[in-house]
Amino acid sequence: MQQSVESTVQVRIDIVAKVSRESASNTVEISLTREFEELFVRKLDGNLVHVESNIATPFPIPYLRLNSIFSFDPRIIYPRLYSALQDPDLCDHLSAKIASEAEPVAGPSFVPCEL
C-alpha cells in the first residue's frame, strides 16, 4: 500500500528593530532573517513524518540603519523603508514594529525645526 504525503511550507521572518533616541538624531537599526520550514505529513493518518528547516535566501538588504528620523509615525517611516526594501507588506509590518518599539524609549521623539 502506497502512502501519500502532503507538504506544507512555513516561512518565519525574524525582525529586530532597535530604536535609539540618545541624541536629536533618532536612529533605527533593523536586522532581518528568513527561515523556511517544510513539514511533510502523511495523508492517511495525519502524522508528521519529516521536518526540514533552513535559512532562506537573505533579503536584498538584511541590515538597515535609518538615521535622522524626526518622527516614528509609521506613515513617515514607511517611505524610507520602502525605498530600501521594495516590499509593501514587509514595510507595513516594520513601520508598525518601529512605532511600537519607539513608544517606551525615552528621549527626543519630535525634533523641532525653525523656519
| Contact predicate 52/27, CB 8 Å | no
Neighbours of 30 (CB within 10 A): 22
User: Which domain, by its residues, includes 60?
Assistant: 5-102
H-helix or E-strand spanning residue 63: strand 63-69
Q: Are 97 and 17 in contact (CB under 8 A)?
A: yes
Report the number of distinct structural domains present in the chain: 1
The 10s digit of each residue's pLDDT in 41-88 is 776 776 766 666 666 666 667 778 888 887 888 999 999 989 988 888
Percentage of the chain modeled with pLDDT above 90: 4
Q: Is the pLDDT of residue 106 over 60?
A: no
Q: From CA 59, how far away is CA 85, in angstroms rounded?
A: 8
Do the domain assignments include residue 113?
no
- pTM of the shown model: 0.58
| Residue 38 placed within a domain | yes
**Least confidently predicted of 21-25, 32-36, 90-94, 111-115:** 111-115
First to last CA, the chain: 80
